[in-house]
Structure 1
Amino acid sequence: MTDAVFRETTAEPRTQAVPLSHLSLELGHLYMEDFEAGPEHLREHFDRVRPWAEAARATAAAATGGKRPRISTCFLIDDYFTRFSSPAEVVPMLLAEADRAGLVVDYLARESGCAVAGKVPVAEAVAGRLVEEPPPGSYGIRPPAAQTGWLANGERSPAARAPQAMKQATAWQPPREAAARRHSVFLDVELWSDAPDGHRTWSCPFLAAVWQLARLGLLRNEGEAVLVPRPHTTSGFPEEWDELPPLVRLNPRADPFAAYRTCSVVPNRFLPVEHAVRVILDQTEVAPGALRQVAERSARERTTVPDSVADRVSYVFYAGP
């Protein structure tokens, strides 16, 4: 005879599933100065992106074993650090230049949505899931990232302290990368800065890490999916950025926004930012339910997905003019 086990329904956390493509292909992540430079600058950007986007599509197609790969494209506009112009002016120019280059932007996102989407404090929720890797031999001297706003991929150099009487000063020691291969590439990432009035500004690398989690379909808030695309149903775009949804589906026939893997084609000035993104992703505890859903679905489709979230992310960095 077996013992019956009773659980309250509310004790079983429900994780909302999201549809998944094979690849989320980012066609750009530009800032105010890029748009201020005018259509010619955007034209040059998309001309540089096009061949690499085609290569990413071909690679995704080869990985599906001859089946049609589900590939969605996206574009991220920075409206977080600087508010400029308006969606009514910027978005049509952006889409026109993409079309001129033979590219289709399926989804458009605002970077401010990676900080707060609707009433959901997305960045704050991700920050609460940081799990730092303690360096070998550490004794808890270093304050946690939740307190300092800094996250490292290894052991920092010890802080210089005045020696006690009759004792020698501690010799300088170099920082050490936790997973170094022969030599270290140590990185210390600033996650946010706090103003005297208490206002917190999230860093570009941290918001970019949130953006990658969204594209991988791994963001949840109390089990509910975060940054769900909303269809664009009007003929134009609003005058204010806050009137534009954080994530908009521009192409009604687009494959799903989130995907098993991501690829971003961006200027090489983003290289240090994306190095920091990997450090953050490597030390973020992703919602187990979301990870399980991706694993189960990819297994049914016989699609290989790396265990490491950071390894699901790839880039093409092109040289600027």
Structure 2
Amino acid sequence: MSTAGAVFRETSAQPRTEAVPYSHLSLELGHLYMEDFAEGPDRLRAHFAAVRPWLDAARAGVPGLPDGKRPRISTCFLIDDYFSRLATPAELVPPLLKAAEDAGLRIDYLARESGCAATDPAAPDGGGLADSVFGRLVESPPPGSKGFRPPLSRTGWLTNGRRAPGLRTSAALNSGGAWQPPSETLARGHSIFVDVELWDERGERRTWSCAFLAAVWQLARLGLLRDNGRAVLTPVPWDASAFPADWDDLPHLVRLDPGAAPFSAYYTCSVLPTRFLPVEHAVRIVLEQTHVDEAALHQVAQRARGERVTVPAGVVDRTSYVFPPGL
């Protein structure tokens, strides 16, 4: 994988946008923290045993294709090497692949979560993919907004509606100091208001939140990330029998099966532990307010039409989840 080019620009000045191949469905077999791996092989085997029946159902749910063709389906797994590194790839990955194999599953693509933060492993946080996607966020102003909310670039918080005003805001003064509840912009009857933290800073270091990196991960799986027209976070072929002793020696995204269907897909489905449900709710809020590269969107639509596949206009509508009980 190229480690150059951590600077991201708008693609409007670039005459050519690189195309990527597409599967019909990208199936995520899991996303585990280092603490999960520390519990040992039994934890991994239990995870994949619980995942297996739901993956079969997800595969069966892919609509039939014209002319009786079989849908292209690829699998992926995301490892958290961004928030902690309790073990090396050489120690961690082989037991993971063995546990999946024992459950009758195959991991086509293995990704490092740090790859969703920066293109260059040596680059400081905020200098890569996450920073680029952050620059494409367009906050949806809630109805009746007075503009008293601090900008997203300063707070690092994104909402799906209107916050309850503080006592010193102009909105609170206009209401005579009475408390006002938060409200969801597109509420159906009653509001489900969510305030999502995208990053925090300690000193000069910015740390992206799990929810925001997961949103970048979804955009990558949907084939919608570009750097000045160039496709990014593209898979690198890798020998599944050998892994390095240092995470930075492993590309951010590797293809373990040479014959795997493409990594990017028209649709994504993630089978995750139930603890990720609030995280993925936050992901959907981020995706709904991300201005995605228009040329990349056009390429997906054009490719799908050529295969007579229906792809929703809304990016968030291309994602789905399964949260098996007990996982």
Residues in 2 aligned to 1:305 and 1:95: alpha-carbon distance in whole angstroms: 32
After superposition, the C-alpha distances for 1:52-71 in whole angstroms (9 at most, x for unaligned) are 001111111x3435420000
For residues 169-318 of structure 1, what are the structure 2 equivalents within 5 Å? 169-196=176-203, 198-233=204-239, 235-318=241-324
**1:162/1:243 CA distance change after superposition, 3 Å:** closer
Q: Work out whether residues 23 and 72 of structure 1, in 8 Å CA contact, stay in contact via their aligned partners in 2.
A: yes
Decide which structure has the larger Cα Rg and report it: 1
Q: Work out whether residues 22 and 264 of structure 2, in 8 Å CA contact, stay in contact via their aligned partners in 1.
A: yes
1:107 and 2:109 equivalent?
Answer: yes
Moved more, 242-251 or 62-71: 62-71
Residues in 1 aligned to 2:270 and 2:252: alpha-carbon distance in whole angstroms: 19
After superposition, the C-alpha distances for 1:238-267 in whole angstroms (9 at most, x for unaligned) are 000111000000000000000000000011
After superposition, the C-alpha distances for 1:265-308 in whole angstroms (9 at most, x for unaligned) are 01111000000000000000000000000000101111111111
Task: Report deviation, 1:11.
Answer: 4.8
Moved more, 211-220 or 234-243: 234-243
Please name the residue that 1:40 is paired with.
Answer: 42
**1:101/1:179 CA distance change after superposition, 3 Å:** same
Please name the residue that 1:152 is paired with.
Answer: 159
**1:162/1:101 CA distance change after superposition, 3 Å:** closer
Please name the residue that 2:142 is paired with.
Answer: 135
The sequence identity of aligned pairs, in percent, is: 64
**Unmatched segments (≥5 aa) in structure 2:** 1-11
Task: Report deviation, 1:320.
Answer: 2.3
DSSP 3-state at the match of 1:49: helix
**1:228/1:12 CA distance change after superposition, 3 Å:** closer
Instruction: Please identify runs of 4+ aligned residues in structure 1 that moved more than 3 A.
Output: 166-169
TM-score scaled to structure 1, two decimals?
0.92
**Unmatched segments (≥5 aa) in structure 1:** 1-9
Residues in 2 aligned to 1:282 and 1:23: alpha-carbon distance in whole angstroms: 20
Q: What is the RMSD of the two structures over their aligned residues, measured on CA atoms? A: 1.8
Please name the residue that 2:65 is paired with.
Answer: 64
Task: Report deviation, 1:14.
Answer: 1.6
Q: Work out whether residues 14 and 228 of structure 2, in 8 Å CA contact, stay in contact via their aligned partners in 1.
A: no
Q: Work out whether residues 148 and 169 of structure 2, in 8 Å CA contact, stay in contact via their aligned partners in 1.
A: no
Residues in 2 aligned to 1:235 and 1:102: alpha-carbon distance in whole angstroms: 18
